[in-house]
Amino acid sequence: MKLWSKGFEPDKMIEEFTVGADRELDLKLARYDVQGSMAHIRMLESIGLLTKDELEVLLKGLSEIAETIERGEFTIEPGVEDVHSQVEFLLTSKLGDVGKKIHSGRSRNDQVLVDLKLFMRDELRSVAKAVERLFECLQKQSERYKGVLMPGYTHLQVAMPSSFGLWFGAYAEALVDDMQMLAAAYKIANQNPLGSAAGYGSSFPLNRTMTTELLGFEALHYNVVAAQMARGKTERAAAMAIGAVASTLGHLAMDVCMWMCQNFGFVSFPDELTTGSSIMPHKKNPDVFEIMRGKCNRLQSVQNEIALLTANLPLGYNRDLQLLKDIIFPASTELIQCLDMAVFMLEHIRVKENIVDDPRYDYLFTVEEVNRLVLQGMPFREAYKKVGLEVQDGTYKPVREVKHTHEGSISNLCTKQIAEKFSKVAAQFE
């Protein structure tokens, strides 16, 4: 069954090529299709295109379909093109001609759009919740290990003292910026396109404000052409936000892989959380973080794939846009899996203490010595030169003390303030 059927069927090869994996992907949209249809028919009844009795019958039928979806029993039957066709087919089979009335005043274009908006809105909320779980884990570990010093690097050379509190806390605050990206994408998704029809509106007196309120959208896509132009833009914004989170998480994964290396030896994990080698009995590999790093790198390419798919398309709907689902649908799922795996692993991390006591890290404290001399009254350039000459002639002796008190430093992590920043952004998803 096809919503556009005019008494003929396309060639089977054409149908298989154009439909692709749409039936499988559309199962993710089923609940949102029913949700959108229920709002739409309530609006149709309010403008006289359905009677009150017809509305009650249709709402009951759609509610029954929604129940099968929640139970995992909903399927798209062979020969049925997509989820929209399946829902309408089920209604018509059970209710007769009244089931055919639900499509008045809309096109499959705005039907797909509203499904995708509702879906992306929920997916972005789910990603934000997963980010929050990792944020809380990082903050907890930041406080737990705030007194444990570690080397800080620039150019991958030993530079200045850092701490595990600073390291964990850095990634926590980086996630605040990523949440801003997610919140921006959420706002773009949280606009109602229903009623834009095929992209040029309808001669029916549709009440689009009513469906906006019924579906809980923050705003309406007013211009009907702009509503159709949002197809691809919503997915691209979501992909950019997903890529931002993936970038932070991939960077963290790289750090862990490096810190686990015996040349560093800063962290370790229980044996059961590592993997081994088929030939080297001593190996305990960071495969989880390597796979996480790889997945996060791949997730950062999603926005480029969407950009290329949607580049220079002519105005209005084009079938190319169907392929967006293949790209964006798996991305949020994979990112959430990576975020939750990161939480699981970091809850079991083992941090090595007294790292900086090793003589190889003597020069970590040169800047501390320069600053100590400056505080005693010596000009900075003179102090810098003095300590530099001591390093050159081998007379430099480190004082392994760190006194960093300003906001965001080793001894003043501002964990509470960072949590407040995060909470303000997270509130935008409520």
Annotated catalytic residues are 155, 277
Give the DSSP letter of residue 351.
E
**Are 412 and 369 spatial neighbours (Cβ–Cβ below 8 Å)?**
no
Give the DSSP letter of residue 300.
T
Q: Which two tokens stand for residue 387?
A: 């300590």
Strand bridging mode 191-192 / 219-220: parallel
**Are 181 and 241 spatial neighbours (Cβ–Cβ below 8 Å)?**
yes
Strand bridging mode 267-268 / 191-192: unpaired
**Are 107 and 197 spatial neighbours (Cβ–Cβ below 8 Å)?**
yes
Where helices occur in 145-274 by DSSP H, the ranges are 164-189, 208-214, 224-229, 233-260
Q: Which residues contact 182 (CB under 8 A, 6 or more apart)?
A: 124, 127, 128, 131, 241, 244, 245, 429
Closest by CA to 288, choosing from 270, 302, 303, is 270
CA distance 314 to 91: 35
Give the DSSP letter of residue 61.
H
Give the DSSP letter of residue 352.
P
Give the DSSP letter of residue 285.
B
Residue type, 389: L
Q: Is 104 helix (H, G, I), strand (E, B) or coil?
A: coil
Dihedrals phi, psi of 407, to nearest 5 degrees: -55, 130
- State how far the alpha carbon of 216 is from the alpha carbons of 124, 187, 286, 340, 417, in Å: 15, 12, 44, 28, 32
Q: Which residue has the tokens 């560093």?
A: 264
- State how far the alpha carbon of 179 is from the alpha carbons of 243, 363, 429, in Å: 11, 37, 10
Torsion over CA of 158, 160, 161 and 162, rounded to 10 degrees?
-90
In the chain, what is the straight-line distance between the N-terminal and C-terminal CA atoms, in Å?
39
Dihedrals phi, psi of 191, to nearest 5 degrees: -130, 140
